[in-house]
Structure 1
Amino acid sequence: MRLAAIIFLVLFIGLFVAPSFVLSENVGGNKEEVDVLNQQIAEKKAKIKQIEESIAAYKKKIDQKRLEAVSLSNQVAIIDNRVSQVELDIQATKEKLESLTLEINALTLGIEDKEKVISKQKRILAELIRAYHEQDGKNYLEIAAAYANFSDFYGQVQYLQTVQNDLTLSVNSLRDARQELEDKKKQTEDRKKSYAVLNEELVQKKNDLNEQAGLKQSLLVQTYSSELKFKTLLANLKDQYQAVESEVTSIEREVRKKLESQKQLETEGDSSAKLSWPTQSRYITASFYDPDYPFRYVFEHPGIDIRAAQGTAIKAVASGYVARAKKCSLGSCYSYIMLVHADGLSTVYGHTSSIVVSEDKFVTRGDIIGYTGGTPGTAGAGPFVTGPHLHFETRKNGIPVNPLNYLVRDW
């Protein structure tokens, strides 16, 4: 078999089996800069770890305070620790953003190096192909006849074998370099997406910080820094919560009984197996039975709080009947909407600033039923608020259940 044919076969297979590549890390003119960036990234990660350890320490302090008797000084201490925790969380997020920026810069330099290596490998491959064509069509007898002695002939054979080996190495190197290049480009895009997510988190955490500071101020103003007034406030808040809870439970039971007797939920209600989100926002500031809920000393949190600017449209998460549409004109009054759905499910939308549906009316999934509130002191916000948001509950046969087990995961 002719050696040239072997060379051609190696080249042919290599080119079609290996379509993509990237250069090795130790090749390229940006290596020193990349090394410096990698060192800076390592330092950032070490700093982030230290901050996260401090955050954990504050969380431990908060947990310890929760075990103590409920008092004004105790609640203020918890809020102060939360403020410190959120401040560190913001600092950690900023460090993560800076680390991602460094990673993107390092990847960009790496991509430049890979592209240079690819260009170089292409030139090498072109030279090898040229060498192949120069020897194309010659067999060993023709090569031997062209040389006066065996030594020269043997040298030429060795040269052809070297060309063959170099072709194989060059094709493999080109393939690997292209793959690395594609990997780095994907990593860069992933880092940019992570940067955007973290940047949004930073904005939300700054809002968290403002809310915690506002909560402390509100608590001190309402109690005049008096433990006695705090106990009175606590008793009043518990009474208000129990009144709302009793109202929601009794009305839901009465309306469902009425609708079931008329078989209206069966004929008009859609399946509530998966609920749509009530707002555009998906940012949750307080989870179901959240241990960090700021009013946990009054009651357990029976739903989720979704951050939403004052006046954001609220949509029905599933078709159903408006069981309650409680409107309030005072900031101390809790305004809410309750919908009764099929399958024993009901939903509650709290701290509404405006309600646009009427009781005993049927609404379809996606219909606007009201607008969010929650800014302290505004109409319908109620006493249990730190900032604008929607309080959202799901209840199964009247009992609060985790909304995240029902809401569709569309983010």
Structure 2
Amino acid sequence: MKKSRYIILLPLFISLTIPVVFALTSKGQMLENFKRQEKEMIFESQTIFLDEGDRNILKTYNKLNVYSSIGDKIQSKREYLEVQNEKINSRVNSLESSIIQFDKDIEELVIEVNKINEQVVSTKDEIDTNKKTIDILQSRIEESTVILLEYIVYLYKKGDYVTTDNDIDNIKSILLSGEKIDELVNDLYFKSIIQLTGQQLIEKHRDFVSRLYVKKLELQESENQLKTLRKQGILERNILDDKRSSKQRILEITKGQEELYQKYISEQLELERDIKVKELKEQIKLNNTKKKLLEKYNCEFVDIQVQQTEFSALDEQCANINKIIFAESRLSGIPLENNPLDWPVNPSLGISSYFNDTGYQRLFGTDHDAIDIMIPMRTEIRAPMDGYVVFIQPVVNTGYAYFAVKHSDGLVSLYGHVNQIDVKLYDFVKKGDVIGLTGGEYGTNGAGLLSTGPHLHFVVYDEEEYNDPLNYLNLSYLSYKSLPSKYQFKYKSDFKSRKGFEYADTSKKQSTSGSTFVIEGENELERQKYLLGTYAVGDFRNWDIWVEESIAGGIDPTFMMCVGLAETSLGKYLKSAYNIGNVGNNDRGDTKDFPNARSAIAAMTSTFNNKYLGKYNTINQLSRYGNKTGAIYASSDFNWHNNITKCMSHVKGEYIPDDYNYRISIK
């Protein structure tokens, strides 16, 4: 029987008069089409009644804003220098004591620089020692590998009764192929088919490999320390140079301080005049453009602020042209400090969906190019920054309603699922003005067909491209614990900027099932041991076993430990004996036991290297988070992956991305 194919025809009224109809076969495609149409309408309808050439008036306004901003800075600096010039005479008397203090500072800095130089030499020696040790260990590993291969050849030729035909075939295939012997060695070790001499050889080989791993990490720490010392040395030498330069400048000022300041002031005045000339030229150009524009459309210029009666008598097109001219003239540059936008609504209830939220993508089949701020119905929306309204999709029954506001420096903000719009097209709004009321509750006016509940859909365009709104907002108004980890650094910076002191997370340590996960230590090795000592149980606290088995399988030990944490919280919640990684355990009820901790950890590395998972290298390939159809280690869509990357970020002391390579090579 032939299946029927249904095509949804969804009318979305993009303007007051033009209905746009999309032919859709999925929610994702529908939203992609709508977002493209929405973007085109916002940026084309700002001046849709103007010709392309006439739109240059907006670019001229932008240039004027830039020149005005530069001119203000130069004037401010010049005024500062004039004040300093007036004070200079009173400072001359204290210059001699300043020079004495500079001499003391310079002497102390010379001692500090020499001390850092000694530390650099010492660290270099330590690095050289580690490199020599690594060379020795690598040489011993190579020798050990040759001996082990010879021993395996001996076993093969001997045809020991303890080796099965399958074992002999495995040995033969590896010898003929020239592949690594690690996997074979592990297999032979745990099946106890090698005689005492062979076991001792293997243990010696594994000890070399483990020591090599540790030495490489120590070398990395030493090299990082050397980089830090060099940076510190450069910084201290720069400070020393600055002190010497400052002393020299003071000496010069004592000889001719007034002349020096007069020279600076003269240079600033010259710069100020140049900028004023450029600004004046752009202003003349703007005035001519405005005049031609008004004449072209048979309109007259009206000062909206003082000529309300005349303005109300204009036809719609002339009124809009005057509103744009007025609005563009009032747009000022973005402040130099970060976070130029205020929150349009109080974000205390949190964010329900972040920019490029993976949960949204799974639900709707398209990227989320906004943030959704949880907020009760009909809450006042306030302008986050000065600007003017460039687009309105009005509230018509339960259809999707939204509007957009243009700000300076290429920023445009958009507000979606609104229940009420309190501004008109081309209205100029000041930061903090009420511009509408929130909506979003399904079935209410302005909510649209796909709204999931009361919230404000907040979009930010920067130079006509989607950008994460949280890059422009102060995150310290949100809850630190609720934020995804990638925003937490910005949160702390915003917190200090707003409150004047550092953010301190006062949460107490909790188990990994709680909301807070704490790892301590100066380096990765110390943090690995802290992880095992704090969260693991029994033999799973043995750091040597984890490292030896991980590197024998070419897997990052930190990754392996974090898998143990995610699967069974390092042994606290085992489903079967010693099965720390749930290898062979499944939802059908199948379970697999192991005789000890080492064999269970070795089974984990074998699983990651088997014919199904051995082709993968990155964390996101191991679960349904990033692998929708292939073989996987964990069936979780999100939690397993999130727990692994969070754990590894803590232990390694750096942000671990989704596509982090968990394989290592110890050579």
Alignment TM class, shorter chain as reference = 0.3 to 0.5
Structure with larger RCO (C-alpha < 8 A, sep 6+): 1
Q: TM-score, normalised by structure 1?
A: 0.40
Q: TM-score, normalised by structure 2?
A: 0.25
